[in-house]
Amino acid sequence: MFYREAGDFKTSYQQDNQTFPIRFDRYRYYVVLAVAFGVVPFLINDYWANAILVPFLIYAIAAIGLNILTGYCGQVSLGTGGFMAVGAYACYKLMTAFPEVSMFIHVILAGGITALVGVLFGLPSLRIKGFYLAVATLAAQFFLVWIFNRVPWFYNYSASGQISAPEREVFGILVTGPNAPSWAIYLFCLIFVTFAGILARNLTRGTVGRTWMAIRDMDIAAEIIGVNPLTAKLSAFAVSSFFVGISGALFFSVYLGAVEVGEAFGIQKSFLVLFMVIIGGLGSIFGSFAGAAFLVVLPVVLKVVGVDLMGWATDIVAHFQLVIVGALIIIFLILEPHGLAQLWRVAKEKLRLWPFPY
Amino acid sequence: MLDQAEGYTTADGRKIGGVVMEMKNITLRFGGVVAIKDISFDIREGEIRAIIGPNGAGKSSMLNVISGFYTPSEGEVWFHGAKRPQMRPFEVARQGIARTFQNIALFEGMSVLDNVMTGRLTHMKTGVFSQALWKGRAEKEETENREVAEKVIDFLEIQHIRKTPVSRLPYGLKKRVELARALAAQPRLLLLDEPMAGMNVEEKEDMSRFILDVNDEFGTTIALIEHDMGVVMDLSDRVVVMDYGKKIGDGPPDEVRNNQDVIDAYLGVAHD
């Protein structure tokens, strides 16, 4: 009824290859974009920006990055937090070294630097797979956090060992530091999310994405067919780390403002992003958004329900939150291993025929 | 009948050309086990070449040597008049050798179309950056290759399952999709490892028809391993027979059928 592909004919392969081949989907996408860019910035306040929207956008980028590596290329990574830290510290060094350059350039360059680091730590993937690779990336996680703590050059020899973001502007509008308006921070992140989503979708629908998925599904057959495992795996590590680095740079510079590396980019961060990808759906760009939204909104909802509506103590709710998130992850893994994205796909397939399923 | 340079004409009148691939004194060892022992044979332009033999004769090992999966312990592989250096399998694929597997090796998480498009990989050149931008070169290349892929899909009559995930397909169709993926590469040499294994008579007939059609329409050179003797004898132009890693026969099907060594290998021989 609402969701129809009948009568929606395609006459060229370009049309068939669109991101949203179904007209209804396409319009919905335009509406979401229009609301996100045209309406939300006028309504946003500090609470909404800091509690929900900005972390959602930033985690969405990280989840897209990890989904490319783990969901599309099948290389399990537990080093996401470490790579986010690389993005954050690269951004910090660039911000302090070149104060007059636009934040856009800094964040993108921070992503590029993280991509290089990611390729370096991706090298073991050429030899090892599965659990063993996960452990190797875990080593990357601890090593990176350790090095950012131990080498004072990274935090500009500050006494506390922390890094804090100086005030920087984009086109004359403040986007970092405590005085940045929330709509500017939101828009700044939204632009990166939009481009991350589009680039990731373009990569995954074309040749590069197919080589990644071929490696994921059966690496031996992929090689027989002409996939060079070296370039396929390392390009996945590079692209994935690029997005993760951007999210780390944004997380530090526009969201937190000041960062202590072990706390902000520790192993919990790696697991959080991995849960987002698993709950959202491995191998789906939409799933990355859904997973990020789910895990960002869930604590807020639990807090509102538990503390404000039920009147429970804050610490009890905080503990319950851990239990509920843990239980949900187990439930998801058992009932729908393909995550929210698969639920969405099934719902769409049902809707195509609704209300006459036969 | 067989002229070294010119090739030969088959019983049904097809012209077979010069040598595409030549295996010279191939030996393959795994530790102390000798899987292939000093075998030489050639594959000619446009022919259907079968490799047969009882279980454990070394047929699949031979196919793996051709596709670069194993490096022979001794001997040389010549492809299109040049000695092939030691290569990784993906480099062999880029030379124009495609293959299917005995146990289906499709990419289960991808749709049929994506699987077939993956077969076009060796023809796609755009890098990560133009892919990320999509508009322009990447989209053009995608569309051009899609046309080739669609021709193959059309040819093998799998249009209706184009967008279906491979994991949902029945066995026979999976085999066909795997053939489509190999064909999409427009290979100069197509290797089929037991294309009819586990099929019923009808599916076998379909597959035989496809193999003959591929050879006929695209002029593809095909080397295949098969256990079904009826199929092999009907399809192939020349047959290599292996037993215990050694070559015991080589020639047109009729000749091989009457070879005493071959009969002994298949039916057993009385030891008295």
Contact A90, A246 (CB under 8 A): no
Query: How close B254 comes to chain A (CA, Å)?
Result: 34
Number of domains in chain A: 1
Alpha-carbon distance of B254 to B238, in angstroms, equals 9
Q: What is the pLDDT of residues B178-209, one digit of tens each?
A: 999 999 999 999 999 988 888 888 889 999 99
Residue B210 and residue B86 in one domain: yes
Residue B44 and residue B128 in one domain: no
The residue segments making up the domain with residue B77 are: 1-96+187-272
Could you tell me whether strands B74-79 and B82-83 are parallel, antiparallel, or unpaired per DSSP bridges?
Answer: antiparallel
Residue B36 and residue B122 in one domain: no
Whether residue B49 is contained in a domain is answered as yes
- The 10 Å Cβ neighbour count of residue B148 is 18
Q: Name chain B contacts of A216, Cβ cutoff 8 Å.
A: 107, 109
Contact A213, B107 (CB under 8 A): yes
Alpha-carbon distance of A263 to A261, in angstroms, equals 5
Whether residue A163 is contained in a domain is answered as yes
Number of domains in chain B: 2
Residue B153 and residue B178 in one domain: yes
Which of B184, B204, B221 represents a domain boundary (last residue)? B184
Q: What is the pLDDT of residues B217-229, one digit of tens each?
A: 888 999 999 888 8
Q: Name chain A contacts of B109, Cβ cutoff 8 Å.
A: 213, 216-217, 283
Residue B81 and residue B113 in one domain: no
Out of B90, B110, B122, the one facing A213 most closely (by C-beta) is B110
Query: How close B139 comes to chain A (CA, Å)?
Result: 7
Residue B176 and residue B70 in one domain: no
Residue B194 and residue B179 in one domain: no
Whether residue B102 is contained in a domain is answered as no
Q: What is the pLDDT of residues A18-28, one digit of tens each?
A: 777 777 778 88
Residue B171 and residue B194 in one domain: no
Whether residue B88 is contained in a domain is answered as yes
Identify the contact set of chain A against chain B, taking CB-CB distances under 8 A. Answer: 12-14, 17, 199, 202-203, 205-208, 210-211, 213-214, 216-218, 220-229, 235, 238-239, 283
Retrieve residue B38's tokens. Answer: 């000093």
Query: A–B: how many Cβ contacts below 8 A?
Result: 106
Alpha-carbon distance of B106 to B88, in angstroms, equals 20
Whether residue B51 is contained in a domain is answered as yes
The residue segments making up the domain with residue A108 are: 44-265
Residue B170 and residue B196 in one domain: no
Best of B121, B159, B168, B193 to substitute, by most chain A Cβ atoms within 10 angstroms, is: B121
Sign (positive/negative) of CA torsion B209, B212, B193, A210? negative
Whether residue A231 is contained in a domain is answered as yes
Whether residue A202 is contained in a domain is answered as yes
User: Which pLDDT does position A152 carry in this prediction?
Assistant: 86
Partners of residue B29 on adjacent β-strands: B34
Residues 6+ apart with CB under 8 A from B245: B28, B34, B35, B36, B37, B39, B57, B58
Whether residue B158 is contained in a domain is answered as yes
Say if the Cβ atoms of B107 and A217 lie within 8 Å.
yes
Could you tell me whether strands A169-170 and A173-174 are parallel, antiparallel, or unpaired per DSSP bridges?
Answer: antiparallel
The crossing angle, in degrees rounded to 10, of helices B137-155 and B171-184 is 130
Residue B152 and residue B228 in one domain: no
Say if the Cβ atoms of A221 and B126 lie within 8 Å.
no
From the number of C-beta atoms within 10 Å of its C-beta (0-12, 13-18, 19+), residue A259 rates as buried
Residue B148 and residue B173 in one domain: yes
Residue B45 and residue B159 in one domain: no
Residue A142 has pLDDT above 90, yes or no: yes
Q: What is the pLDDT of residues A189-200, one digit of tens each?
A: 999 999 999 999
Say if the Cβ atoms of B185 and A226 lie within 8 Å.
yes
Whether residue B101 is contained in a domain is answered as no
Q: What is the pLDDT of residues A177-221, one digit of tens each?
A: 777 888 888 999 999 999 999 999 999 988 899 999 999 998 888
Query: How close A234 comes to chain B (CA, Å)?
Result: 12
Whether residue A222 is contained in a domain is answered as yes
Average pLDDT over residues B113-130: 87
Residues for chain B: how many in total?
Answer: 272
- The 10 Å Cβ neighbour count of residue A105 is 12
B141 touches chain A (CB under 8 A): yes
What are the start-end ranges of the E strands in chain A?
163-164, 169-170, 173-174, 258-259
Residue A249 has pLDDT above 90, yes or no: yes
The model's pTM is 0.89
CATH of the domain at B51: 3.40.50.300
Which of B184, B199, B232 represents a domain boundary (last residue)? B184
User: Which pLDDT does position A5 carry in this prediction?
Assistant: 65
User: Which pLDDT does position B210 carry in this prediction?
Assistant: 92
Least confident span in A88-102, B5-19, B102-116, B243-257 = B5-19
Whether residue B170 is contained in a domain is answered as yes
| Average pLDDT over chain B, rounded to an integer | 87
Which of B142, B158, B184 represents a domain boundary (last residue)? B184
